[in-house]
Structure 1
Amino acid sequence: MKDSEPDKDYYSVLGAGRDAPREEIERRYKRLARRHHPDRGGDEEEMKTINEAWRVLGNADSRRAYDRARARPRETYRPHAPVTSPSAKADPLSGRIVGAMLCVFVGLVLLFLVRAQYVVFLWPLALLALGIVGFGVLMAHGALLFAREQVAPAHPMRRLVWAQEVLFWSCVGAGGYGVYLALTAV
């Protein structure tokens, strides 16, 4: 067992199962040895690997030692706590709000650019701008849901879900109407 490596899977080299009897392993070894022998045009390195597998699995003592070495549990990775200061942790809510605001801003800028140019063939850009604004609104709604889930279940904010939804969608509607008025004035 000294010259064998437990990292190599000798069973797969010979194509045998782990519970295969010695006779089957010997039969598979002989078949592979005939096929890969260097005198018959086979690869010498492949033949060395096959011989090494037979040397380990053909002997009952070395096979038991090999199986024991492979059955040994490997050292598992133990995660450790990250070393960061409390002030370095990101606030996911503010990141969501900033992302939503950025989407809405970029969409509105594109929409105003298309409207200010009075060019008919820019309508795909206008659709893209509306899509970006809509995505920003959905991101803002996701931030609202995220903020709601962060508070305790007994908090009054959890009981007034309908009021939050009405207020949010009222703001979205009023903002949309304001954008409509601004676009018609341009």
Structure 2
Amino acid sequence: MTLETRNYVLTAVEVRAKNENDQAGRASGYAAVFNSDSHDLGGFIERLAPGAFTRSLSEAQAGTRNIYALWAHDTSIPLGSTASGKLILSEDERGLVFDLDVTRFTPAQLSALEDGDLQMSFGFAVREQKWEETPDGGYIRTVSDLDLSEVSFVINPAYPETEAALRSLEAFKDEQIEATPEYRQDTTEMLKRVLAARLRAGR
């Protein structure tokens, strides 16, 4: 499966300093929101269905999947992970919630987070999705199950990686064309002509 990335505005962010018990400071908020339409991703709009992260989070809790928190998708700058306990991820009715130990943040990174200068991005591969065409000729992709590999804090997010989604969209369009009566009729006529030509050649 091809890895894709999506960017979201960080919402409900809270940064908590170390407390009197000398626990590390932590930051929390929403990394993604359900049922929220994306901007145009190059020919389609995308939304995440409630529960899209459930399987990945269950695997992380069971220890069979390690999900990382990164800075700008850079695997050389890990900020934490579910396996280490520094990153805690959960779902509620609104979306994907993160709670992260900020020990590995630089002062500048932590300041940018506190000032609201960061966005959230995550890397994933789709397991289950549904395409639908809108009345105005556009397309909506609803993702209901995905493999979550990492969440990243970004300042200037790159354009989302949508190659896999666009391939899936083209396949959906082809299926729509093949389902039309005109396509089936044309295919039937073509097969008749091929068969007739073979019969003539065999005489």
Interval of TM-score (by shorter of Structure 1 and Structure 2): under 0.3
Larger relative contact order (C-alpha < 8 A, sep ≥ 6)? 2
The normalised TM-score by structure 1 is 0.19
Higher strand share: 2
- Structure with bigger gyration radius: 1
The normalised TM-score by structure 2 is 0.18
Higher helix share: 1
